[in-house]
Amino acid sequence: MVSLSSSAYQLLFCLLVLVFTPFPSHSADPDPLQDICVADLNATFSVNGYPCKPVSQSFPGLNTLGISMARADLSLGGLVPPHTHPRSSETVVVIKGEVLVGLVTTDNIYYSKVLTAGQMFAIPRGLVHFQLNVGQEKALILVAFNSQLPGIALVPTSLFGTTPPIPNQVLTKAFLVGDDVINEIKSKFGA
């Protein structure tokens, strides 16, 4: 049997503490390296978002600030189909119209609300969600993300419009339907 000195036990204890101590997660956007960065959308390369235009630009942009925004104009009955953002939470503000906003939690609980002008809805990162114009006029929404590159995965396209296609055997088992149903859906996505 090997005996260890008290200093060896102390060293072993310190090593175990280091090995099992959780390190902070760095899953957010990286810190910006400059105050203002106007994205060069015509750049031929992209590392983490877009590179910056020369500092002489007079209008600052959102590039490298860890946020982004979008505007969506929804026609009567218009839909932003079910989708997720793998790298961002989202807030939706209705500017005009009536919009049904819904999400599904990881526990498969569906939450929704019909929003009118001035109302807001928050969607946690990675959850499936949608927006549907349920009003009698065109709707306008503004969305904001806590990432400069939130990413988007449209659920219908991700399942039925991939290249190469997901095998019917997988989809028929997942949706408990026959090949004819899957093929009909795939045909709508050009698959």
Cα–Cα distances (Å) from 150 to 68, 80, 132, 141, 171, in that order, read: 8, 16, 21, 17, 27
Q: Binding site: residue ranges? A: 83, 85, 90, 129
What gap in Å lies between CA 18 and CA 40, rounded to an integer?
A: 43
What single letter denotes the amino acid at residue 18?
A: L
Q: Binding site for oxalate: residue ranges? A: 85, 90
Percent helix, strand, coil in the chain (nearest 5)?
Answer: 20, 30, 50
Q: Binding site for Mn(2+): residue ranges? A: 83, 85, 90, 129
Peptide bond into 164 cis (omega under 30): yes
